[in-house]
């Protein structure tokens, strides 16, 4: 049985037992939920303990990887700019659209209390009052203290400074330090894989505790999350078509026809890397892009660019806000969107289940949101993964079309 199937079995079993107990004997259901709660909390704590070193390492590595790619020539620099612009566009769109889409669904006030009882993670850092305090809080006065307090936004800012600083030192020392951070990231991922081995038990305990208190409300809420995430993935994929038309100079009918083979591979394999040969063939033979552009930009896109990552982080944050009845401010949404872009650049190429907590927690925490639902959201997040891969492949070819047009304009 695959790891995903094991987690889903734990989810279904925990939900079924929790719902049956809640309907048959509510007081017994609460007692069982109280017994299951510490198990779920231990599992979430084990996942969370890797977040600070993993985020620090991934951001430092991501900055240096992007710097190395940009140093390889004008085409690569253009591709990096296009990637960042499209990632920002997707994150800001989701920051605006996801909260609005979630308002369509009725909110259950009992859901927040049930989530808090299920597994109470340490409280998120409160958002500073006023724009001056918010601005000052971005840069940490003590990076070690920021890490100790799990203050993710200041920690990411420090990691960005550190990553860019490494690009300016002697190559031998830079290589040594980048390898050091890569080793930290690799070790944290090993720990996460160990913890995920126990995910069926952890998810079982979490959903049992929540369903014992909230009943069907929790299951319907998870369905709302999955549905909203799917809608956001489809929306950003469709957004790429006008980008290709206006900025890539493409005719929509030809571009859609060229996209289809790569999208079919993406849907069937759920892997952007497996879709790369089909993307290369479409770009060369059907779209007629210059060979130097496709040979460089598409492999870069697969290794550095995942459009749906910030979309997923912002959808998760918007769902948590919806579940707790929190109205997100413009400052919170913008902060989360920009942080989501930075986090996504460092996490590309890693399995989503491995980095779900490490990538979603910093965004939710920077927006001042509770972190309790993340364990349950991890269990169901694999369901929309097919649409996420489809969106990424569509964005890869769109970015290539923009870079190809700019390269033609230079040589015209």
Model confidence over 10-21: pLDDT tens digits? 888 988 888 888
80-108: average pLDDT: 92
Distance (Å, whole) CA 207 – CA 251: 48
Query: 407 is written with which tokens?
Result: 């390269």
Sign of the CA dihedral with 319 first, then 322, 326, and 331 last: positive
pLDDT above 70: residue 351: no
pLDDT above 90: residue 371: no
Which residues are CB-contacts of 184 (< 8 A; sequence separation ≥ 6)?
53, 54, 56, 57
Count of structural domains, the chain: 1
Buried b / exposed e along 30-63 (16+ C-beta atoms within 10 A) = bebbeebbebbbbbbebbbebbbbbbbbbbbbbb
284-301: average pLDDT: 88
Q: How many CA atoms lie within 13 A of 113 on its CB side?
A: 8
Task: Tell me which of 401 and 31 has the higher pLDDT.
Answer: 401
In 10 A of CB 382, how many CB atoms?
21
- What is the per-residue DSSP string for 287-305? S---HHHHHHHHHHHHHH-
State the pLDDT confidence band at 132, using cuts at 50, 70 and 90. low
Model confidence over 105-116: pLDDT tens digits? 887 776 776 676
CATH code, 74:
1.10.3860
Helix pair angle (131-138, 152-166), 10° resolution: 40
Question: Please, what is the average pLDDT of the chain?
Answer: 84
pLDDT above 50: residue 212: yes
Which residues are CB-contacts of 351 (< 8 A; sequence separation ≥ 6)?
none
Taking CA 163 as the corner, what is the angle to CA 159 and CA 164, rounded to the nearest 5 degrees? 120
Say if residue 122 is exposed, middle or buried (CB neighbours under 10 Å; 0-12, 13-18, 19+): exposed
Percent of the chain residues topping a pLDDT of 90 = 31
pLDDT above 90: residue 77: no
List C-alpha distances in Å: 94 to 192, 306, 308, 334, 405. Answer: 28, 15, 10, 11, 27
pLDDT above 70: residue 129: no
Place of tokens 């020539």: 73
Query: Closest Cα to residue 152, out of 322, 348, 315, 336?
Result: 336
Distance (Å, whole) CA 265 – CA 269: 6
> What predicted TM-score, i.e. pTM, was given to this entire model?
0.84
Query: Closest Cα to residue 32, out of 42, 21, 41?
Result: 21
Model confidence over 171-200: pLDDT tens digits? 899 999 999 999 998 898 889 888 888 888
Task: Tell me which of 137 and 151 has the higher pLDDT.
Answer: 151
Q: Which domain holds residue 352?
A: 3-411
In 10 A of CB 213, how many CB atoms?
24
State the pLDDT confidence band at 165, using cuts at 50, 70 and 90. very high
Query: What is the three-class DSSP state of 348?
Result: coil
What integer pLDDT is reported at residue 123 of this predicted model? 42
What integer pLDDT is reported at residue 348 of this predicted model? 59
């Amino acid at each position: 049985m695959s790891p995903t199937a094991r987690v889903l079995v734990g989810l279904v079993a925990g939900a079924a037992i929790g719902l049956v107990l809640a309907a048959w004997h509510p007081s017994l259901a609460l007692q069982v939920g109280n017994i299951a709660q510490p198990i779920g909390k231990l599992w979430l704590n084990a996942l969370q303990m890797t977040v600070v070193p993993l985020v620090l390492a991934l951001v430092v590595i991501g900055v240096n990887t992007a710097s190395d790619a940009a140093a390889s020539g004008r085409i690569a620099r253009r591709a990096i700019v296009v990637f960042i612009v499209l990632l920002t566009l997707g994150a800001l769109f989701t920051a605006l659209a996801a909260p609005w889409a979630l308002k369509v669904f009725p909110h259950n006030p009992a859901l927040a209390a049930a989530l808090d009882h299920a597994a109470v993670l340490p409280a998120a850092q409160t958002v500073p009052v006023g724009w001056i305090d918010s601005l000052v809080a971005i840069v940490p006065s003590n990076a070690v203290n920021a890490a100790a307090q799990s203050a993710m936004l200041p920690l990411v800012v420090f990691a960005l400074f550190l990553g860019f600083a490494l690009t300016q030192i002697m190559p031998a020392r830079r290589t040594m330090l980048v390898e050091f951070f890569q080793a930290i990231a690799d070790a944290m991922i090993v720990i996460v894989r160990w913890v995920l081995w126990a995910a069926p038990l952890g998810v079982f305990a979490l959903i049992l505790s929540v369903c014992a208190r909230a009943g069907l409300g929790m299951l319907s809420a998870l369905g709302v999350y999955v549905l909203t995430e799917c809608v956001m993935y489809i929306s950003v994929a469709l957004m790429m078509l006008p980008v290709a038309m206006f900025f890539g100079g493409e005719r929509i009918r030809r571009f859609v026809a060229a996209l289809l083979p790569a999208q079919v591979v993406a849907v069937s394999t759920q892997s952007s890397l497996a879709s790369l040969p089909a993307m290369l063939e479409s770009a060369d033979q059907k779209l007629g892009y210059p060979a130097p552009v496709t040979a460089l930009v598409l492999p870069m896109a697969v290794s550095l660019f995942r459009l749906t990552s910030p979309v997923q982080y912002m959808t998760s944050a918007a769902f948590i806000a919806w579940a707790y009845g929190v109205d997100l401010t413009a400052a919170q949404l913008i902060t989360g969107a920009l942080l989501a872009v930075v986090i996504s650049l460092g996490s590309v190429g890693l399995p989503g289940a491995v980095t779900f907590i490490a990538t979603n927690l910093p965004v939710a925490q920077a927006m001042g949101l509770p972190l309790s639902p993340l364990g349950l959201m991890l269990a169901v997040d694999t369901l929309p993964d097919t649409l996420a891969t489809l969106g990424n492949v569509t964005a890869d070819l769109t970015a290539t079309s923009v870079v190809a047009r700019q390269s033609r304009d230079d040589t015209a």
